[in-house]
Chain A
Amino acid sequence: MKIPLLVSTGILLVALLPCQECRALSKSPAPAPGALHQPDFFQQQQRQQQQQQTLPVLLRMGEEYFLRLGNLHKRPVGSFSSSSSSTSHLQPEASASNFFRAAVQQLQQLPERSLGNREDGEAEGEAVEREKRSEEPPISLDLTFHLLREVLEMARAEQLAQQAHSNRKLMEIIGK
């Protein structure tokens, strides 16, 4: 008789006690404005609880979207019209752009956090805001090494093309 009573009491306690992780599933406050990526928040114990709750959702959704969209070859609208790169170079950019578009859509679905929340007293409020900003994760970019190498090779090709152009001009001048 006592054991079922204890078990049911334990179940009730688990169900009714405030659970930080559980709250994350029902309410998702927006991330800090401009935060492109939240680094591993488990290492930073000073973060606010709301941020800790939203981070896993953002990371998981971001990773899932990247896995699904990473092989898309469709060209984004209006982003690279001025580029002189070959089509083959645009595909990783398209993948990167698609990834960011998807990540942006996910972030935009989250409610915006109001920037104007100030406590009583402007100076106190500003100090609190500065503290919060200093505790916020640094702005970062979610780019894989594969995409980083692609853009690096594009930059390298651009540099070689520019060097070739300079050499050609030099030869023309010397030839005069």
Chain B
Amino acid sequence: MPSAFQLQCHLVLIFLAASKGETRYLEVRDAGEDDPFLLLSEDLKRELSAGQIYRRSLRCIDMLSIEGQFTFTADQPQLHCATFFIGEPEELITIHYDFVNIDCHGGDFLKVFDGWILKGEKFPSSLDHPLTTSQRYVDFCESGNIQRTIRSSQNVAMIFFKIQVPGNGFTVTVKKSSNLFPCNVISQTPSGRFTMVIPHQHRNCSFSIIYPVVIKISDLILGHLNGLFLKKPSASCAGVGDFVELLGGAGLDPSKMFPLADLCHSFHGSAQMKIGCDNTVLRMVSSGKHINRVTFEYHQLDLQETETRKENSIEEFCFPSI
């Protein structure tokens, strides 16, 4: 019976395709979960978005986490200024120069940096970013006429500027776009939950929390189960291509932080660690041969928590920074 056989073959093919498909790692959200505007009619959306562009003036040292149009005008010579941009983990930052009035030949500058750099330490580190350090700086004075829109590679970016003549300044528009597989992230909040997925990519990704935290890893999948073949767990992480490491330190650069723990075997459960460092980073190293995924949650470490030890707590590292 050819038609029944065909139907069975189709069913088998569908089953195999479904079991091998990568789309099960994507989380599909409800329409109204994040953006209630999707539930509105077009007229209502138009009425709501009219005049919705957020505008304000920038300070010399500032941080922005929302879209809008921002203007800086120097009321006095401003020689050392910077604006930090940060978005949600799954967002990328786009900066567009609307208007720039600076004296490049007189020594003024306006530079966008792809990431954050603090005290010479960069995030993402040079090891985890596709561009060289010099390429990560986009200087308006050198390339402003050519490149007026710059997009970051992760959820953070910053601009440095020096304006010596009062009255000079600039206006930028900040927008955000979505990033399907966030790789390098700085958390906006000291508490949260995140799932990092690296699908068949040879890259290293870091998730940075600039607070002392208790971090709990609930789900770790390293490698992809292909049929009946399972990786034999080895005694240590040495020689294993894909692994997750926890880092702690006082700077921004993950490559200069102290390794606290290595996880190189898949598990489903709860592994908790208290890290009292100024910066905690969860870094996943991926060879590109597999699909790797790690789910974790974190919350700020209180001083009282350091006195009581819970079960499953590996150990305490760093001292409270307060």
Chain A residues in the interface with B (C-beta under 8 A): 33-34, 36-40, 78-80, 82-83, 93, 96-97, 100, 103-104, 107, 115, 134, 137-143, 145-149, 151-152, 154-156, 158-159, 162, 166, 169-170, 173-174
| In contact, B162 and A140 (Cβ under 8 angstroms) | no
| In contact, B86 and A100 (Cβ under 8 angstroms) | no
Residues of B within 8 A of A166 (CB): 48, 52
Residues of A within 8 A of B61 (CB): 93, 96-97, 100, 143, 147, 151
| In contact, B84 and A151 (Cβ under 8 angstroms) | yes
Residues of B within 8 A of A107 (CB): 79
Bound complex: CA of A108 vs CA of B120, how far in Å? 21
Residues of B within 8 A of A34 (CB): 107, 109, 160, 162
| In contact, A36 and B65 (Cβ under 8 angstroms) | no
Bound complex: CA of A40 vs CA of B36, how far in Å? 48
Number of interface residues of B (CB under 8 A): 48
| In contact, A141 and B160 (Cβ under 8 angstroms) | yes
Closest A-B pairs by Cβ, 10 of them: A39-B120, A155-B63, A151-B63, A155-B65, A145-B278, A159-B65, A140-B117, A140-B120, A141-B82, A36-B80
Partner pick for B118 among A33, A80, A103, A141, CB 8 A cutoff: A141
Residues of B within 8 A of A149 (CB): 210-211
B6 within 8 A of A: no
Bound complex: CA of A79 vs CA of B278, how far in Å? 29
The smallest C-beta distance from B67 to any residue of chain A, in angstroms, reads 9
CB-based nearest B residue for A82: B57
The smallest C-beta distance from B247 to any residue of chain A, in angstroms, reads 15
Residues of A within 8 A of B37 (CB): 170
Bound complex: CA of A162 vs CA of B57, how far in Å? 15
Known: A82-B56, A104-B79. 11 other contacts (CB 8 A): A39-B121, A83-B59, A93-B61, A107-B79, A115-B107, A134-B134, A148-B210, A155-B84, A162-B54, A162-B66, A170-B37
The smallest C-beta distance from B289 to any residue of chain A, in angstroms, reads 33
Residues of B within 8 A of A146 (CB): 321
| In contact, A97 and B60 (Cβ under 8 angstroms) | yes
Question: Which of A142, A147, A148, A166 has its CB near the most chain B CB atoms (within 10 A)?
Answer: A148
Residues of B within 8 A of A162 (CB): 54, 66
| In contact, B134 and A158 (Cβ under 8 angstroms) | no
B206 within 8 A of A: no
| In contact, B160 and A36 (Cβ under 8 angstroms) | yes
B17 within 8 A of A: no
Residues of A within 8 A of B272 (CB): none
Residues of B within 8 A of A152 (CB): 63, 84, 86, 188, 210
Bound complex: CA of A102 vs CA of B233, how far in Å? 56
The smallest C-beta distance from B133 to any residue of chain A, in angstroms, reads 5
Residues of A within 8 A of B162 (CB): 34
| In contact, B66 and A159 (Cβ under 8 angstroms) | yes
Bound complex: CA of A140 vs CA of B107, how far in Å? 17
B98 within 8 A of A: no
| In contact, B118 and A143 (Cβ under 8 angstroms) | yes
**With A33-B107, A145-B250, A169-B48 given, is the CB distance from A155 to B117 under 8 Å?**
no
**With A36-B80, A100-B61 given, is the CB distance from A138 to B107 under 8 Å?**
no
